[in-house]
Amino acid sequence: MIQIEKIDGVRKFRLSRTYFGRALYYTAAYWVDGLMIDTGCAYTVRDLISALEDVHIDLIVNTHTHEDHIGANASLSRKFGAKIFAHYSGLPVLSEPRKRQPLRPYQLVMWGYPEPSKGAILGDSVETANHRFQVIHTPGHSTDHICLYEPDQGWLFSGDAYIGGHDRALRADYNIWQIIDSLHKLARLDVNLLFTGSGSIHKFAHRDLLEKIYYLEETAERVLQVYRQGWSYGKIKRAMFGHELLLFYVTLGQFSGKNLVRSIIEDLPANL
Ligand SMILES: [Zn+2]
């Protein structure tokens, strides 16, 4: 399933595998001025290609190499002769996704394995005919995560560095302190439009980023406070985040409240 929207010079594609006619989970890809930012998952390759009939792609940039952002890399690169760029630490995943990023059952159902593709190291900026995008390294959601910022337009393509809502669970391999640090980097930018990896577009990016930072920092402070009083991870999780969410069961425990508690305590930088 694909939903297409045009905003200024940007085309947004919201992509999802459908199951009995229903969309399972949306991820977004964007096209702007010959640049493709992310490419959806393996199940939405054909939808995306057919939506790009009237444009050309000169280059592809992946905000990170999670399977729902690199699915059409190989197909689009073949069709348009486009070069693919990603953070250097993600390049091995692009070339060997099955070996470097084994998927869990829920990921196989929702996104599937991407076809291997060949990426090059992303520099400090990306240039198209009419725009110059700054590359901002924003680890936390993944170590290879980057955002693209176009200062003249105030466009920020944030991939999964900013995910709205008040988290009560975290994936085992995310680092909450790096996520907070990356959000601070983004909050310092002058942003008119924030384009997220799920397809939501934010006009009040600064406010929304600060609100998210405030929630995470305030939550972390409360967790650390009771941890220093001797509370166990389990007790903290129950008191702060309640019962595990449906997400916990669907992902067989990969997302959990306990992971959020653990990351707040164990990933705390020494200088904080
Ligand atoms: Zn991701």
Res 195 pLDDT > 80: yes
CA distance 135 to 115: 25
Res 67 pLDDT > 80: yes
Range in 186-200, 220-234, 241-255 with the lowest mean pLDDT:
241-255
Tell me how many domains the chain contains. Answer: 1
Determine, yes or no, domain membership for 57.
yes
Ligand 1 centre distance from Cα of residue 89 (Å): 15
Give the pLDDT confidence of 123-172 residue by residue, as tens digits.
999 999 999 999 999 999 999 999 999 999 999 999 999 999 999 999 99
Give the pLDDT score at 238.
95
Which residues form the domain of 111?
1-122
Ligand 1 centre distance from Cα of residue 64 (Å): 7
Give the pLDDT score at 244.
83
Determine, yes or no, domain membership for 76.
yes
Ligand 1 centre distance from Cα of residue 91 (Å): 15
Range in 48-62, 85-99, 238-252 with the lowest mean pLDDT:
238-252
Q: Residue 250 carries which DSSP code?
A: H
Give the pLDDT confidence of 19-32 residue by residue, as tens digits.
878 877 889 999 99
Distant-in-sequence, close-in-space partners of 63: CB < 8 Å, separation ≥ 6: 37, 38, 69, 145, 146, 147, 148, 157, 158, 159, 160, 161, 197
Look at 137 and 253; give whichever has higher pLDDT: 137
Determine, yes or no, domain membership for 151.
no
- Full 3-state SS string of 143-170: CCCEEEEECCCCEEEEECCCCCCCCCCE
Give the pLDDT score at 243.
87
Determine, yes or no, domain membership for 73.
yes
Ligand 1 centre distance from Cα of residue 175 (Å): 13
Ligand 1 centre distance from Cα of residue 26 (Å): 12
Give the pLDDT confidence of 232-250 residue by residue, as tens digits.
999 999 999 988 888 888 8
Give the pLDDT score at 62.
98
Place of tokens 């942003």: 191
Determine, yes or no, domain membership for 79.
yes
Give the pLDDT score at 208.
98
Look at 127 and 1; give whichever has higher pLDDT: 127
Angle at alpha carbon of residue 63, lines to 59 and 64, rounded to 5°: 115
Ligand 1 centre distance from Cα of residue 229 (Å): 34
Ligand 1 centre distance from Cα of residue 106 (Å): 14
Long-range contacts of 27-32 (CB under 8 A, 24+ apart): 27/68, 27/69, 27/111, 27/197, 27/198, 27/199, 28/195, 28/196, 28/197, 28/198, 28/199, 29/69, 29/72, 30/157, 30/195, 31/55, 31/57, 32/128, 32/131, 32/155
- Comparing C-alpha atoms, which of 98, 197, 115 is closest to residue 157? 197
The CATH number for 82's domain is 3.60.15.10
Element of type H or E holding 54: none
Element of type H or E holding 92: helix 91-95
Ligand 1 centre distance from Cα of residue 105 (Å): 16
Structure tokens at 257: 């409240």
Res 272 pLDDT > 80: no
